[in-house]
Amino acid sequence: MTRFDLSGKTAIVTGAGRGIGRALAIGLAEAGAQVAVVARSAADLQETVSEIEKAGGKAHAIVADLTASDAAQQVVDKTLETLGGLHILVNNAGMNIRKKAHEVAEEDWDRVVDLNLKATFRLSQAAGAIMCEQKYGRIINIASVAGLVALRTGVAYGASKAGVIQMTRVLALEWSRHGVNVNAIAPWYFKTPLTEGLLRDEAFLQEVLQRTPSGRIGELEDLVGPAIFLASDAAAYISGQTIAVDGGMSIYGF
């Protein structure tokens, strides 16, 4: 359908070296967008670029540590320089440090919040300036169901993702009148390199599945459709929303 076609659009996807970010970058490219993929590992990014190019798409790798104060502007400037525009931003880069609340050190809190929340704002701010000026843009923040319900051993992560969800609403309130829609996607457990160790624990896996009405762990493809939708003209009248892609888990928490 043409309303889902992203041809002629340029996207930035952060944390695109593997897992969710790589899947979203490839999905946006398959829908027609050219994609600037951002991560700290050049080797991981090259694999993402190769997969996109193998399928006939166009991608450019940008190696960056998004917690650096000047990284966001550099990523936006490099994207404009190499790909000639900016229409879509997917803020996916994030991390978690799993500790009980009384064990969380200040440096743990800072590391999680600096990447998950502060870096997401900085990049949204830099991209939003371009998008508001051109009167068109789509920003998709990858939040988490941890920002909607309470999960154990994730106080800094949950706080950062709740912040992302509220930030999404505020940015939408300010920028939607300029043609820039800002939305979020809140995933539950998906099969990624970061979760495979946890999900190998049979007791943990069964607890997760018991709290998931659909009865299964998410596949990365389950996130691609919602991202393409929010990036496309099909979602032109949607802004400030958080879509939980969680198999129904957030109905009753964990």
* Residue 189 known to be catalytic: no
In whole angstroms, give the CA distance from residue 244 to residue 248.
8
Residue 242 buriedness (CB in 10 A; 0-12 / 13-18 / 19+) = buried
In whole angstroms, give the CA distance from residue 90 to residue 35.
10
CA nearest neighbour of 13 among 224, 180, 159: 224
CB-CB neighbours of 196 under 10 Å: 10
Of the residues 136, 157, 189, 252, only one is catalytic, namely 157
Would you state the structure tokens that stand for residue 113, as one six-digit string? 């919040």
CA nearest neighbour of 60 among 189, 118, 76: 76
User: Do 250 and 145 meet the contact criterion of CB atoms below 8 Å apart?
Assistant: yes
End-to-end distance of the chain based on CA atoms, in angstroms? 37
Catalytic residues: 157
